[in-house]
Structure 1
Amino acid sequence: MSKETNKQPASVFQMEGIPPMGKVIPLGMQHVVAAIVGVITPAIIICNTCNITGSDRTLMIQVSLILTALATLLQLFPIFGRLGSGLPVVMGVSFAYVPTLTAIGGEFGLATILGAELVGGVVAILFGIFVKPIRKFFPPLVTGTVIFTIGLSLYPTAVKYMAGGAGSAEFGSMKNWLVAIVTLAVVFALNNFGKGILKLGSLLWGMIVGYILAVVLNMVDFSGIAAAPMVQIAVPFHFPIEFNISACVSMAIMYIVNSVQTIGDLSSTTLGGLDRLPTDKELSGGIVGQGFMSILGSIFGGLPTASYSQNVGIVTVNKVVNKAVFAFASLVLLVAGFLPKFAGILTTIPQCVIGGATISVFATITMTGIRMITSQTFTMRNSTVVGLAVALGVGVTTVGSSALAGFPGWVTTVFGSSSVVISTIVAIALNLILPADPPEDVEKVAVAFETDDVMERLSDDDPTNDPTDAEFQR
């Protein structure tokens, strides 16, 4: 009896063991569908920023796929007990770095991005090693402010793409906007009214519909696909690496911020799927693994990695934590990464399609920041931290480099190129400098919000209700 029991396949709701492939494949493909747009789009955006075309463009998408697969496998199966969290989490190339990457790439080029990424990976490893004492500097108020700023800073990128891409001969044309709006409409409809795989893969399905429409409107060039080989293996240092101190500082700050976000994603994964908080070892290993993969990515021409919140969301909903499911998803991405023709197809996606799909992603990032901010009692102190950090970050970068024209060039690169950097520094500084709210002030604000909520509910129930009735008094 015990032998038969031992031969039974594992459950998808436990981390170890191998469940039936009939469950592993569809559940794994869910994660592929949820992640694929986030994997390839940052590479496409950076290629456009740095004017990378042809086979190098295809190669960067290949490396993004491979890097995401390896980063996820490292999280599932840690090396030496320190590289990786050992948790069911998808990690790969991330949108969160895009504002800083485009700023560095626009001024210095891809080589400087890769150099700054290498340094940022080292910083992430150090953060992971000392995560326990450092973590106190990044409460939800600070982290939420930073994530909110990241979302805001990505909006112009999305709108430029919806219009056809800055510098495009048909920038702002009705044709570009038609495709972008149709793509956005599909994503919006499936997100709000779809179910199952339609809702889960709304970004992918929206891009497919937008791509088909773009093909019908003769906006897609397939000429580069035929020239791509069937199989290609990325080699180290195909792209040069250069170091610029100011770019490295900017990226180091971003890695610290995203390490904090990784803590949040790992915590959500364990709470949602395992009903517990992650251990210090799991948090440390997850961040150290993230830094290691970023160093590896810089050597092969990949972009910075971070945990994928959309895949964390899947875990919290379906409670599936079996490592075999995530390993299968990783293998699918890995195989796709060695096929240049597949990557070549992805390079033909028009910018208006990417813009129409990703603007909803950027909106979600912004709202995630708002949720984190409002999870704290919104006192005058907290509103000052958020308001000033966002105002200075967005304000300086909106004006442009001329706002810092009287400063040395490195100041402009570090503080004037990305609103996220300024907002991060200001939020951390204000949170440390401003005195904590007295408990009675926090209680007053909480009571005020509760009173407003009661009044609103009373008003909704019956416009003639008097807010002095028994419920209001309570």
Structure 2
Amino acid sequence: MSTKSTSVFDFYGKPSFATALPLSLQHLLAMIIGNITPALIVSGVVNGLATRTGDASLGADAAVLVQSAMFIAAIGTLIQLFPIAIVGSKLPVIMGVSFAYIPTLSAIGAEYGLPGILGAQIVGAVVGMVVGIFIKPLRKFFPPIVAGTVVLSIGLSLYTTAVKYIGGGAGLITAANNLKNPESAPAVIEAAQKTLAGGQFGDPKFLIVGFVTLLTVLFVGQFGKGMIKLSSILIGIIVGYVVAFAMGMVSFDAVAAKGWFALPAFGKYNIAFEGPAMMSMAIIFIVNSVQAVGDLSATTMGGMNREVTDEELQGGIIGSNLGSLVGALFGGLPLATYSQNVGIVATTKVVSRFVFMITAIFVLIAGFIPKFGALMTTIPQAVIGGATIGVFASITMSGIKLIIQDELSNRNTGIVGLALALGMGVTSVPELLANYSPTIKMVFGSSPVTIATIVAFVLNIIIPKKTLAQEQQERDEMEAKKAVKK
């Protein structure tokens, strides 16, 4: 270990601030939109429930959730960079709120609001920390065929979220249904009328903004170079935002109402521990804790030319889940290592802890500025949808890449196919579980990820492993027996 190194290619290296700053900003640009978007999506879901029920305690201030997302992402990153005992990996990674949790968070939020999400998150984080402690023996139960199926199901389940946002947001669908329902309370009807004042779901202006954003992200991502290419999502959002502003879709009232400085919202929101929500979240936390093995391994292999150690895996997973647990107390959503930042490490080989610390400090400062969070909430949902549908597509393809790391034998394709068929199929037909208990409906009917995970996990254990060569040998033996009989 060299304590005097100034190299950006040394984890302990401390380059000059002028050298580190652009490298830090590169990581900031790569993570910031991904970090705030889940907060915007989840706030829309829980506020929809609050409007329908008339119970404001179920909803959330979107600006506060964004502020909390920045604060917790910074704390989570610093934990990884500067570990304490077995908490933290001491690896160059950036933490942020994970898209992988959105299907489950949305399902829980639509049923129990933000309190249900935060309670389930605390339980899930504790389960995730236990996984971290025992990660070495548990890894064998999540080979690429299982992990890939889970990631693929996450990507597929997010498409409807993106399309709803491109159409103007799920809130417009809810508002329209409220106006059609004669039993809706007057307050709910009034809220629906205000929401629809911005336009019906699928209004041409929403579609124009959404697809302008999408095409910008696609064009810049495919034809851009260097930092421009890396910032394709950010550039797409800026272009979509400008178009939306020109069309009168942006209001800065929320920004004006917020102050310049505020401490993170510790204890601002109620926490509720709902059984079905906790079960669903525990499953997803287990899967994503094991998934962290991939990002941490890619970091060491891509940036340090070595395998990740069991101690680094254990500390990284425990640190990530501890960050999620603490985050729930501030209204922050679950954390994960950010794959896009792992990709930067693998490409640039820059692993200096000093560079990553500067990024974390910038993110932390944003967590103390309410106006920043409020500004982010002015981004129209159509812009968010156009910018993220490509991200969701990337998640889907990441799942496919994981799956094909194993042989596509009849056994493996059967596991993937059946897991996806049951996961996507059951949740697409809510009537199937309509007469069952709320627990059954939440665990098995709210998110396709849960069913796909359980099915893939169980089938991988009980179905005997057979390679393509072994399957071919079985066919050859069958043909040989037929020939003998003749």
Whether TM exceeds 0.5 here: the answer is yes
> CA–CA distance in 1 between the matches of 2:298 and 2:62?
34
Output the amino acid matched with 2:81: L
Q: Which residue of 1 aligns with 2:146?
A: 142
> CA–CA distance in 1 between the matches of 2:312 and 2:36?
27
Q: Which residue of 1 aligns with 2:120?
A: 116
> After the TM superposition, which segments of 4 or more aligned residues of structure 1 sit over 4 Å from their partners?
6-9, 52-55, 442-445
- Pick closer, same or farther for the CA change 1:179–1:130 going to 2, 3 Å: same
- Pick closer, same or farther for the CA change 1:8–1:304 going to 2, 3 Å: closer
Aligned match for 2:466, one of 434, 437, 446: 437
Q: Which residue of 1 aligns with 2:31?
A: 35
Aligned match for 1:161, one of 155, 162, 165: 165
Aligned match for 1:412, one of 441, 444, 467: 441
**Which residues in structure 2 correspond to 1:359-374 (within 5 Å)?**
359-374=389-404
User: Which stretches in structure 2 are left out of the alignment for 5+ residues?
Assistant: 51-55, 173-195, 475-486
Q: Any conservation in 1 of the 2:411–2:466 contact (CA below 8 Å)?
A: yes
Q: Any conservation in 1 of the 2:3–2:12 contact (CA below 8 Å)?
A: no
- Pick closer, same or farther for the CA change 1:374–1:442 going to 2, 3 Å: farther
Q: Which residue of 2 aligns with 1:18?
A: 14
Aligned match for 2:382, one of 340, 352, 355: 352
Q: Which residue of 2 aligns with 1:72?
A: 77
Correspondence 1:376 to 2:406: yes
Q: Any conservation in 1 of the 2:43–2:60 contact (CA below 8 Å)?
A: no
Correspondence 1:56 to 2:61: yes
Instruction: Deviation per CA, 1:217-254: give whole Å up to 9, x if none.
Output: 00001111111011010242110000011110100000
Q: Which residue of 2 aligns with 1:448?
A: none
Fraction of identical pairs, as percent: 51
**Which residues in structure 2 correspond to 1:449-468 (within 5 Å)?**
none
Q: Any conservation in 2 of the 1:377–1:442 contact (CA below 8 Å)?
A: no
Q: Which residue of 2 aligns with 1:98?
A: 102
- TM-score (norm: length of structure 2): 0.88
> CA–CA distance in 2 between the matches of 1:112 and 1:55?
12
Output the amino acid matched with 2:66: I
Instruction: Deviation per CA, 1:75-134: give whole Å up to 9, x if none.
Output: 011012x11100000112111000000000001110000000000110011000011111
Q: Any conservation in 2 of the 1:220–1:349 contact (CA below 8 Å)?
A: yes
> CA–CA distance in 2 between the matches of 1:181 and 1:242?
38
> CA–CA distance in 1 between the matches of 2:353 and 2:106?
34
Output the amino acid matched with 2:45: T
Deviation at 1:342, TM superposition (A): 1.2
Paired residues in the alignment total 438
Instruction: Deviation per CA, 1:405-458: give whole Å up to 9, x if none.
Output: 23222000111001000000000011011111056336789xxxxxxxxxxxxx
- Pick closer, same or farther for the CA change 1:247–1:258 going to 2, 3 Å: same
- Pick closer, same or farther for the CA change 1:112–1:144 going to 2, 3 Å: same
Q: Any conservation in 2 of the 1:9–1:20 contact (CA below 8 Å)?
A: no
> CA–CA distance in 2 between the matches of 1:8 and 1:143?
41
Q: Any conservation in 1 of the 2:264–2:367 contact (CA below 8 Å)?
A: no
> CA–CA distance in 1 between the matches of 2:461 and 2:60?
48
User: Which stretches in structure 1 are left out of the alignment for 5+ residues?
Assistant: 1-5, 446-474
> CA–CA distance in 2 between the matches of 1:187 and 1:444?
48
> CA–CA distance in 2 between the matches of 1:242 and 1:167?
24
- TM-score (norm: length of structure 1): 0.90
Output the amino acid matched with 2:412: N
> CA–CA distance in 1 between the matches of 2:137 and 2:4?
44
Q: Any conservation in 2 of the 1:55–1:228 contact (CA below 8 Å)?
A: no
Q: Any conservation in 1 of the 2:327–2:333 contact (CA below 8 Å)?
A: yes
Instruction: Deviation per CA, 1:263-315: give whole Å up to 9, x if none.
Output: 10000000000011111000000000011111101111110111101110111
> CA–CA distance in 1 between the matches of 2:270 and 2:472?
56
> CA–CA distance in 1 between the matches of 2:400 and 2:466?
20
Correspondence 1:181 to 2:186: no
Deviation at 1:23, TM superposition (A): 1.8
Aligned match for 2:316, one of 286, 297, 314: 286
